[in-house]
Structure 1
Amino acid sequence: MHTIVLLLCALVSASLLLPAADAWTSSCSDPYFKGCYGVVQKCPAACPKQCEVDCAYCKPICACDKPGAVCQDPRFIGGDGIMFYFHGKKDADFCIVSDTNLHINAHFIGKSKAGRKRDFTWVQSLGIMFGSHQLYIGANKVAIWDDSLDQITLTLDTTPVLLPAQRGASWASQLDAAELKISRIADTNAMTVELPGSFKLIARVVPILEEESRIHGYGITPEDCFAHLEINFKFFGLSDDVTGVLGQTYAPSFRSPVKVGVAMPIMGGESNFAASALMKPDCAVSKFKSTSVSLASLADSITEPTHPASISCASELGGATAGGRGIVCRR
């Protein structure tokens, strides 16, 4: 089993790290960078302490151990560094960040099991609202997992964002006073999304594999591997009043109510954080003030992407012959 874990960690690392001759020369000093499923990892000397979003060399090894993480069932690492679980409810939406200029809802999928008081849940998609805009990031429903196939869907204001399946491919759009940029950090199923002055995130689509399902008793069946998102956030300019399941942990006055040290510290408050739909910032604690007068009607139309975005693509650094590493697409 230990050999299998080592192999899995190596595969995750290799698929999402930029190749470098000295890729494993020193241990990372970040206290949250502890290990991947119990296996100690290393990162290069060039990697700074807060390397998940900032360092191209070491993302995202052990990403679920870093502040701003939303992973697994769903396991959160707050801005205060404290880990907790927020199970929510399957087929429901919850606000995870709500501030004056930014609101992020998460849609939970899950499975019920006889004799259990709660569902097994995972985050399937995000609805990110800022200004008059809405960004959807979601994992597609998948039966049998094949990592060579892209299973991540993005739409901006109901228009699909399409990128070539190539690590380094990027897409950008000027929105109001800032440029939204989306880039692949692997050929498939892993992207960064950045809105300067507001947030930066890494989103990965991962499945529930047979062995994981067996160990935890999830009961995953062949018709649905419950592909879901694992996300790492970094925020800029949050107000002192920020709230939401994750957002509240960034407020200066926040004191975690969870029982630190127990195997599964639970964050409650489902009634405060429940939203009526993925693109509606109407949870009880919402702070968001949209600049759009048609936000509700726009939210109702964001179900399935239908029309490709109008984009043009070019090599970011002049193409492969010029040493380029990716493709840039702009609309």
Structure 2
Amino acid sequence: MARLSICLLVIFLAIVAEAATQKPKKAKKCRDKKNYPVCFKTKNLYCPPQCPRNCYVDCATCTPVCSKPSKSPPFLPPPPPSLSPPPTTSTPPLSPPPTTSTPPPTISTPPPPATTTPPAQNPPPPPDSSESAPKRARCKNRNYATCYGQEYTCPSACPNQCEVDCTICKAVCNCDRPGAVCQDPRFIGGDGITFYFHGKKDRDFCIVSDSNLHINAHFIGRRNEKLTRDFTWVQSLGILFGTHKLFIGAQKTATWDDSVDRLSLALDGEPIYLPDGEGMKWKAEISPSVTITRSSDANAVVIEAEDNFKIKAAVVPITQKDSRIHNYGIASENCFAHLDLSFKFYKLSGDVNGVLGQTYGSNYVSRVKMGVLMPVLGGEKEFASSNIFATDCAVARFSGQHPSSNSSENFEFANLHCASGIDGRGVVCKR
């Protein structure tokens, strides 16, 4: 009997070990053939790390999600908010009586914590903002009359930064679309495949290099003694096109405040002073023309060079919550403010290269290993640049001129949609 029990225990442990090493399962495919025909045919979508064994495909965005998505996007009716104020107005009268008896102790207690907390409260601002109620975003495209002006709550995956996809009237994360470079650099290539490129802290790497567009990214970060690599983030970009040099960066800061602008901008060595306020615009009368528009009151802009590229950039901090989850070990003297980026390209040749640029090449075949939780792309030596505006990486293609014949199709990624109205992992649109 004892031998039988031991055999059963060994078999059970073997089954558990095998299950632990299994790769994430494929997501349950989209079943809405009528409204989302393209997503209905899409295959090989894998479950995210949060739910590697069981997930569904959200037909609207054609991406795997942990919970079963609703059939239609939720619309937030305006009436409820107007009904909530009455109860709040009725409660204050009840609270004054007790508060009148408590003022003496409350007045005596604030002074001690106020003097002791300032040094310890330098770190809290970032986590406070990230752990508070999610922010809201609204549709800003007047071409979608039924959705224009509607406000939606940011998804749980990006509670502090999102935008409304007016075509499906739903809030989406800026970093979940092709052409995005965010976080501990997580890239989504032109082929829709997600991968990580860690590089090294305090180094520059070319992320896009073509005949008339070269983009270098400066990485900042810190070393974790338990790992063999650095934790890294993109702190700034050096962009070359034609005879011009454009710089965009995140200024170093210890204590984060959403209302304080931490953007640094310069064109051809001259600082750019952009007025405060969402919608404020700056334009350079050069060829091609360059426009910079604030997409929020501070820390977020849209940069566009006519007939060449469009970049959405936002300065974001590493919060204490991020540091706790990922074991970054961020100290209070530096919240590692960095850029979350989204790229859209108008004229790329088939020979384009770079960490991100290569995924738009006409003959590109992905080297990313599919099915793993964190696919990492190497190539530090071939993508390394000597400085932020250098064009000396091994895969450099920059000459300052567009090719006489564009050998690749024009691409529009990162915040675009295919004719089918979908985007996301594994989706590529060409025209």
TM bucket normalised to smaller: 0.7 to 0.9
- Name 2:262's counterpart in structure 1: 151
- Does the 8 Å CA contact 2:130/2:321 hold for their aligned counterparts? no
- Does the 8 Å CA contact 1:174/1:180 hold for their aligned counterparts? yes
Distance of 2:226 and 2:194 partners within structure 1: 26
Asked which structure has the greater RCO (Cα within 8 Å, sep 6+), the reply is: 1
What's the offset of the Cα at 1:196?
Answer: 1.7
In structure 2, give the amino acid aligned to 1:23: E
- Name 1:191's counterpart in structure 2: 301
- Does the 8 Å CA contact 1:9/1:36 hold for their aligned counterparts? no
Q: Which runs of 5 or more residues in structure 2 are unaligned?
A: 1-127, 141-146, 402-431
In structure 2, give the amino acid aligned to 1:217: N
106, 116, 121: which one pairs with 2:232?
Answer: 121
231, 234, 257: which one pairs with 2:344?
Answer: 234
TM-score scaled by length of structure 2: 0.58
- Name 2:150's counterpart in structure 1: 22
What's the offset of the Cα at 1:174?
Answer: 2.0
Closer/same/farther in 2, CA of residues 146 and 159 from structure 1, 3 Å limit:
same
What's the offset of the Cα at 1:164?
Answer: 1.2
Larger Rg: 2
- Write out the 4+ residue segments of structure 1 that deviate beyond 3 Å after TM superposition: 4-9, 16-21, 41-44
- Does the 8 Å CA contact 1:74/1:86 hold for their aligned counterparts? yes
Number of equivalent positions: 267
Please state if 1:217 is matched with 2:336. Answer: no
Closer/same/farther in 2, CA of residues 17 and 126 from structure 1, 3 Å limit:
farther
362, 367, 374: which one pairs with 1:264?
Answer: 374
Distance of 1:289 and 1:9 partners within structure 2: 48
Q: CA RMSD in A?
A: 2.7
SS of match in other structure, 2:290: strand
Deviations for 1:83-128, whole angstroms, at most 9, x for unmatched residues?
A: 0000000000000000000000000000001131100000000000
- Name 2:279's counterpart in structure 1: 168
- Name 1:67's counterpart in structure 2: 178
125, 141, 157: which one pairs with 1:37?
Answer: 157
Distance of 1:87 and 1:42 partners within structure 2: 24
Distance of 1:281 and 1:105 partners within structure 2: 8
TM-score scaled by length of structure 1: 0.75
Distance of 2:139 and 2:251 partners within structure 1: 24
- Name 1:321's counterpart in structure 2: none
- Name 1:136's counterpart in structure 2: 247
Distance of 1:38 and 1:161 partners within structure 2: 29
134, 146, 158: which one pairs with 1:10?
Answer: 134
Distance of 2:345 and 2:378 partners within structure 1: 23
SS of match in other structure, 1:65: coil
SS of match in other structure, 1:147: coil
Distance of 1:7 and 1:71 partners within structure 2: 20
SS of match in other structure, 2:255: coil
Closer/same/farther in 2, CA of residues 42 and 142 from structure 1, 3 Å limit:
closer
Distance of 2:264 and 2:152 partners within structure 1: 32
- Name 1:47's counterpart in structure 2: 166
Distance of 1:170 and 1:38 partners within structure 2: 26
SS of match in other structure, 1:146: coil
Please state if 1:279 is matched with 2:389. Answer: yes
162, 179, 183: which one pairs with 2:289?
Answer: 179
Closer/same/farther in 2, CA of residues 76 and 220 from structure 1, 3 Å limit:
same
Closer/same/farther in 2, CA of residues 115 and 144 from structure 1, 3 Å limit:
same
SS of match in other structure, 2:324: helix
- Does the 8 Å CA contact 2:163/2:174 hold for their aligned counterparts? no
Distance of 1:42 and 1:135 partners within structure 2: 25
